[in-house]
Amino acid sequence: MSLSRPVLFRLVLGTAVFVSACGKHDSLTGASNGADGSATPKTANDANAAHPASGFDEPIARAYLDFIAKTSPETASMLGLHDHDDLLDDRSIEGLAANETIARALLTRLETDSSFTQGADLELVKRTLRVELRWDEERKPQLFSPGFYVRPLSTLYA
């Protein structure tokens, strides 16, 4: 399966954010150890349990992961966010416009909301969003890349 650069970068950054936001997890006891060493019990049914950040600022990580889940359920599934496993990415013109609006809204929020901690993680997410927006504006994969529409089929026939 061939992934475009923005999709691959989103997957890599999303994985880093997801792993960082989850903290260390002990699969035998189900406990998660945060940066302060405290143990937080985890269960399979408790998807909203606290995730002590151990790298990325948690509000930034949460905002980016929520963005991925809204705009690309396929990427979210690859990252292990299984709330939208029954959905495919919306590749319609309207869906792509809605995703662009969501990306621009998140970028504006990250640039203006003072509750986000300034740092490398914030800059990384903002730059990722800018690159994705510019890539889509300049490359227009929905118009010039036939693989854009058949990519989901590769999972069926791989």
What would the pLDDT profile of 14-55 be if each residue is shown by its tens digit?
666 666 655 543 333 344 444 444 444 443 334 333 344 345
Q: Report strand pairing: 31-33 vs 39-41.
A: antiparallel
Portion of the chain with pLDDT greater than 90, in percent: 23
- CB–CB of 18/79 below 8 Å? yes
> Closest Cα partner for 133 from 92, 103, 111, 158?
103
Q: Could you tell me the two tokens for 10?
A: 């989103």
- Which 3-state string (H, E, C) describes 26-95? ECCCCEEECCCCCEEECCCCCCCCCCCCCCCCHHHHHHHHHHHHHHCHHHHHHHCCHHHCCCCCCCCHHH
Chain segment 113-138, per-residue pLDDT in tens: 988 888 888 898 999 999 999 988 88
- What span, in angstroms and rounded, lies between the C-alpha atoms of 152 and 88? 8
Q: How far is residue 122 CA from its own chain's centroid?
A: 14
